[in-house]
A = this chain, B = another copy of it.
Amino acid sequence: MKRRVFVGLLLCLSTIGLSGQLRQPVEQFVAAHQQEIVREFVELLSIPNVAADRDNVRRNATLLAGLLRKRGFTAEILETEGNPLVFAELLVPGAQRTLLFYAHYDGQPVDPKGWSQASPFTPVLRNARLEDGGQDIPNFLALRQFPPEARIYARSASDDKAPIIALLTALDALASMKQRPTSNVKVILDGEEEARSPSLSATMVRYRDKYRADLMLILDGPLHASGQPTLSFGARGNLVFQLTAFGPKFALHSGHYGNWAPNPAWDLTRLLASMKDANGRVLVNGFYDDVPPLSPEERRILAAVPDRPEDLTRFFGIGRTEQVGNNLQEALQYPSLNIRGLHSGDIGDQARTIIPDRATAEIDVRLVKETDPERMLQRVLAHVRAQGFHVLMNSEPDDEMRARYPRIVRISRVESTRAYRTDMTLPESQALIRTLEGAWGKPPVRNRTMGGTVPIDFFIQALDMPAIVVPVVNFDNNQHSNNENVRIQNLWDAVVSFAAVLRM
C-alpha cells in the first residue's frame, strides 16, 4: 500500500519534473556539448541536398540513418521511385502513446552566386545576421562555446536540418539524464518535401501500418515572428493554376491594328479585376461559402497570437491591408486568391509596340480545411465563364475555336495540396500545449491555421491522426532564399522543446 502511494507520488513528481524542471538539465547538457552538436550539424549541412541531386541526397539519408541508430533507433532506408525515405523507430516499454516525428532532409535549389559565402554547402558561422553587419567567425569548429546570437549559414540550416539535429540532441540530453521518452518514437525523414513529397505520398498504402501513430509532429517552419515558442494546428492548402487569355495568333503592330484587334492583356486584366474587390474580398460566387463563421472562442484564440501589425506594415512598406478578416490571423482562416505572376509582351528596354498574342496570369488559391480544391476550381471556372470567356483546359485554341469564340481563356498547370487543421481541444493538442507551457513557463503561441502550406495532408488523411507543427527556427532565416541561416540560440532552445515533447 505505502509502496504504491510512493510510486504514484514519484510518477507525479516525475511528471512535474518533465515540464517544470526539464529545461535546466537539458540546457546544461547543451552548454557542455556545443562543439559536438555543431560538428554533427555541420557534417550534415555539408552534404548537398537539392532533391534533383540524387546521389548526394542518398548520402544524406545514409548519414541520417546512422545518426538515428546511434540513438538506439532501428532505422531503415525506404526505397521509392524518387529519393529514399529514412524511417526509424524507438520502442519504449510502458510507452503512453506513439509519436511520429516528420522532418525533411532535402533543401530548396540553390543559386551559389547569390550567397555571401563560398558555397551553400560549406557552412559559415557569423556573429550576427548578415543584413545587420554579421561577420564571419573563422575556424568555428574549434569553438567550445558559441555566441547565442551567432548564426550558421548554409542551405537547409533551418529548413529543415536544424530540427533534425535538435531532435537527436534532445534524445542525447535525456539519455545523459537517464531518462527515456515517455512515448514510442517514430521518425520519418522526407527527401522530397521541397518537390511536394511525391514519393512519401506513394508509400502510404504500402507502409500505412509502419507509419501509424497517435500524434504526428511536423518539425518544420519558423517560430512566430515574436520568437516565442509556437504550435501550429493547421496549414492552408494551395490550388495553383495558370490562366491564359488569347489574342491574335501572333503579335500584331499596335499602330496598324490598335482600336480594332482585341488585346488579350485587356481581356485578362478585366477578368482578374472582376474576381476581387478593392478591399481584397474575392468576388467569385461561393468563394467563402464553405467556411463557417469564426466562433467567439476561435476569435479569442486568434486574437491571442502576439502579431504586431504596425511593425509588419512598416517592415513591408505597405500603406493598407486587405479586409478579409479583422486581423492577420483571422485573414488566414479564409481562402485567398492571389496573382503570383503576370506576363504579356515585354517591358522595359524589350518593350515593343505590339498587341500581344497572349496574356498569362499565375494564380494561387490558398485553401482552408473546409474548402475542397476541385470545388474551388469549379467556382473559379464558373466565374470565368460568366464573364463571357470560353474556357479550354490545358489546350491551345484551334482556328475553328478562334473563329467561334470572341473571348478564350485557357486553364492549365493545375496542382493542389489540401489544407488540414487539428482541433486544439483534442487531448493530444492540449497535452502538447501544456508540455511546452511547462518547459517555458508560458503558453506557446497557438496558430489555428498557418498561412502557408505543408504538403502532408495525404499523410494525415490516410492515417486519420492529428498532426501539429512544432516549429523552432528563427523567423528571419531566409528560408528558400539565398543566405539561409539558423540562429544558434534557436538551435539550443529547440533541444529543450523537443526534450519536453519526448517526455510529455
Q: Point out residues on A near B: beta carbons under 8 Å.
A: 235-236, 238, 240, 242, 247-250, 252-263, 265-266, 268-270, 272-274, 276, 278, 280, 313-314, 316-322, 324-325, 328, 331-332, 334, 336, 338-348, 350-356, 359-362, 364, 366, 388, 397, 399, 402-408, 413, 450-453
How far in angstroms is the closest Cβ of chain B from A327? 8
Q: Quick check: A318 and B402 within 8 Å, CB to CB?
A: yes
Q: Quick check: B359 and A364 within 8 Å, CB to CB?
A: no
Q: Quick check: B340 and A342 within 8 Å, CB to CB?
A: no
Q: Quick check: A364 and B353 within 8 Å, CB to CB?
A: yes
Q: Quick check: A255 and B238 within 8 Å, CB to CB?
A: yes
Q: Quick check: A406 and B320 within 8 Å, CB to CB?
A: yes
Q: Quick check: A324 and B255 within 8 Å, CB to CB?
A: no
Q: Which residue of B lies closest to A255 (CB)?
A: B452
Considering the complex of A and B, which 6 residue pairs feature the smallest CB-CB distances, nearest first? Answer: A255-B452, A273-B273, A320-B406, A258-B336, A341-B345, A265-B339
Q: Which residue of B lies closest to A256 (CB)?
A: B451
Q: Which residue of B lies closest to A359 (CB)?
A: B342
Q: Quick check: A336 and B273 within 8 Å, CB to CB?
A: no
* Chain B residues closer than 8 Å to A242, beta-carbon distance: 347-348, 351
Q: Quick check: B345 and A342 within 8 Å, CB to CB?
A: yes
Complex: how many Å from CA A347 to CA B242? Answer: 8
* Chain B residues closer than 8 Å to A272, beta-carbon distance: 265-266, 269, 273
Other-chain contact of A346, B280, B320, B331, B362 (Cβ < 8 Å): B362
Complex: how many Å from CA A247 to CA B347? Answer: 18
Q: Can you list 24 pairs linking A and B with CB atoms under 8 Å apart?
A: A238-B255, A247-B318, A248-B316, A249-B316, A252-B316, A254-B338, A254-B364, A256-B450, A257-B316, A258-B366, A260-B328, A262-B322, A263-B338, A265-B272, A269-B342, A313-B403, A319-B403, A338-B355, A339-B345, A339-B356, A342-B347, A342-B356, A343-B343, A343-B347
Other-chain contact of A249, B268, B317, B348 (Cβ < 8 Å): B317
Q: Which residue of B lies closest to A258 (CB)?
A: B336
Complex: how many Å from CA A321 to CA B268? Answer: 16
Tell me the dominant secondary structure on chain A's binding face: mixed
Other-chain contact of A238, B269, B353, B403 (Cβ < 8 Å): B353
* Chain B residues closer than 8 Å to A359, beta-carbon distance: 339, 342
Q: Which residue of B lies closest to A222 (CB)?
A: B256
Counting chain B CB atoms within 10 Å of each CB, which of A240, A343, A352 scores highest? A343
Other-chain contact of A405, B270, B319, B324, B397 (Cβ < 8 Å): B319
Other-chain contact of A407, B314, B320, B403 (Cβ < 8 Å): B320
Other-chain contact of A321, B260, B352, B353 (Cβ < 8 Å): B260
Other-chain contact of A260, B235, B322, B339, B408 (Cβ < 8 Å): B322
Q: Quick check: B403 and A314 within 8 Å, CB to CB?
A: yes
* Chain B residues closer than 8 Å to A320, beta-carbon distance: 262, 406-407
Q: Which residue of B lies closest to A248 (CB)?
A: B316
Q: Quick check: B280 and A259 within 8 Å, CB to CB?
A: yes
Complex: how many Å from CA A413 to CA B407? Answer: 31
Assess A324 versus B260: contact at CB under 8 Å? Given A248-B316, A347-B242: yes
Counting chain B CB atoms within 10 Å of each CB, which of A350, A353, A354, A450 scores highest? A353
Q: Which residue of B lies closest to A355 (CB)?
A: B338
* Chain B residues closer than 8 Å to A336, beta-carbon distance: 254, 258-259
Q: Quick check: B352 and A340 within 8 Å, CB to CB?
A: yes
Complex: how many Å from CA A334 to CA B255? Answer: 11
Assess A452 versus B331: contact at CB under 8 Å? Given A269-B272, A319-B405, A355-B338: no
Q: Quick check: A340 and B345 within 8 Å, CB to CB?
A: yes
How far in angstroms is the closest Cβ of chain B from A329? 9
Counting chain B CB atoms within 10 Å of each CB, which of A254, A268, A274, A324 scores highest? A254
